[in-house]
Amino acid sequence: MLEGVDRLIDLTGFRASGLTGGTGHEVLDAVRRGDTARLARTGGHFAAVARDGHTVRLARTIGLPLRYFVAKMYHGPFLVVADRIDTIFEWCRSQRIAWQFEPAYTRMIPAHYLVEVDQVGCPDPIPRYRRFFDPAVASAPADPAVAGAAYVREALEVTKGWLAGVPADEPVAVAFSGGADSTAAWLIARRAQTELGRDPDLLRAFTLDYGGGSDAVQANAVAAALGLSGSWERVEVGASDFDVARAIDVVEDYHPFDVECAAAALSLLGGVRARHPRLRHLIDGDGGDENWKSYPLEDSDLTLSSILRNPLLYQEGWGVQAVKHSLCYSGGLSRGYVRTFAPAAHHGFEAFSPFTCRSVIAAAQALPFAEVLADDPSRLDTLKGDAVRSGVRAVLGAEMPVWPKRRFQDGAHAARRARVTKAWCRRVFDDRWEARLHEAEVDDRRSGNEMTVPVGVR
């Protein structure tokens, strides 16, 4: 291994969204030094990679994906870092080492962890993980109204922080289904605009309609009840636009729930982009279900005990030391947020959800869920709506309609003849990569023993 060659390829650079509590330079410095306490004092989102001698450190929050791949070169292991699998693959291809690549060899940084990788040659480096987000659990009264008020207050603050980075006269899109999360996100953003001295009507809500979909009916009714019909727009697209295979390509994943969400998001944002070519910023309500554990347990292998004993299960999965932890992907919303991030990026938007920010997650975690649920899983169907509606009333002074919970992409039922399975999604994913890797096999191959330093090394 040659000394003096850094062997770090950062293809994305430092990224932040609504960052508070520190500058980008300070976050990068904290990552370089491995200072988790300093990272814990920030708010909003960031994704960063920095080198300290032979050690590379990486960290991210939910809203900004980050992954890496270890490429084998004469100079030792090269760490290639990007937000997408295909970006890493294309760099390897440009260096004529795509024959080394395999999607499963990439590693996603789990949200809320600082990951350390020592580049000391063979064998492959073993990453170390340290948390920088550890919210207090069950620390508030067993009152959903109290928790809801704290939740909305924190969401308002982080939304103001994000909007402060948007030019004051620039319009902002809101992905709006009429459900509790998107309705609250819209109302919170309008208040944030007002407190920033800006026009709240610069926020425009958009709802997907494949033709007779229930989302559009619900959203229309909610917008009318709030007196905001003039700031709401129905986006009608053909049923054929619901393309699950395209969504798998965009999100680089194969979990059916996330893929279906992404297919609907691609349709919605494609329609918005066609109508409003200059829109660049997007607010959505992703993360609300995870924060309030608002998922039907009968659709999974989870039990009420499992979600209560693992407070951040829906945000982070089972944890990096668990048997179920995937190396290629992280867990929970840490993995699943690509369903929002990737379609938004694909259509040229910067997406932000206040409900993915750590302070907002912490506000929900403070509720003593075990005491409130009292061993009744059916309470999960209504808890989020009750808490968020109470919080909106207390903090914003608005009465928010709450309809029975539905998944966002239920509005695509007219376009989807049957639910897709994980096996089918995985086959599509594998077939796409098999074709790419087969093509790379016939490329001009470069031996890992060549001593020429690859392009882009820093």
Tell me the two tokens of residue 434: 């098999």
Half-sphere exposure of 260 (CA within 13 A, CB side): 18
Backbone CA torsion sign across 54, 60, 66, 69:
positive
Cβ atoms 101, 72 nearer than 8 A: no
Classify 64 as helix, strand or coil: coil
Q: Where are the domains of the chain?
A: 8-133, 144-427
Range with the lowest mean pLDDT among 173-187, 210-224, 413-427, 433-447? 413-427
- Inform me whether the pLDDT recorded for 395 exceeds 70: yes
Cβ atoms 245, 428 nearer than 8 A: yes
The model's pTM is 0.94
User: Please, what is the Cα angle at 263 between 257 and 268, to 5 degrees?
Assistant: 125
Q: Tell me the residue type at 413.
A: H
Q: What is the mean pLDDT of residues 234-254?
A: 95
List, for residues 425-440, the tens digit of each pLDDT value: 999 999 999 999 998 8
Range with the lowest mean pLDDT among 91-100, 125-134, 322-331, 405-414? 405-414
Q: Is the peptide bond before 296 cis (omega within 30 degrees of 0)?
A: no
* CA distance readout (Å), 53 to 5, 31, 116, 364: 11, 13, 12, 39
Burial class (CB in 10 A: 0-12, 13-18, 19+), 352: buried
Cβ atoms 54, 73 nearer than 8 A: no
Strand (E) positions, 238-352?
281-283, 350-352
- Inform me whether the pLDDT recorded for 441 exceeds 80: yes
Q: Rounded to an integer, what distance in angstroms lies between the CA atom of residue 190 and that of residue 63?
A: 21
What pLDDT, on the 0 to 100 scale, is given for residue 2? 45
What pLDDT, on the 0 to 100 scale, is given for residue 125? 77
* CA torsion angle 161 166 17 176 (round to 10): 90
Range with the lowest mean pLDDT among 107-121, 310-324, 439-453? 439-453
What pLDDT, on the 0 to 100 scale, is given for residue 278? 93
Residues with Cβ within 8 Å of residue 379, at least 6 apart in sequence? 372, 373
Tell me the two tokens of residue 265: 């998001």
Cα-flanking dihedrals φ and ψ of residue 2, to 5°?
A: -85, 130
What is the architecture of the domain spanning 144-427?
3-Layer(aba) Sandwich (3.40)
Domains 8-133 and 144-427 share a fold: no
What pLDDT, on the 0 to 100 scale, is given for residue 1? 42
Question: What CATH class has 8-133?
Answer: alpha beta
List, for residues 289-343, the tens digit of each pLDDT value: 999 999 988 878 899 999 999 999 999 999 888 888 788 899 999 999 999 999 9
What pLDDT, on the 0 to 100 scale, is given for residue 4? 40
Read off the DSSP letter of residue 153.
H
- Inform me whether the pLDDT recorded for 408 exceeds 70: no
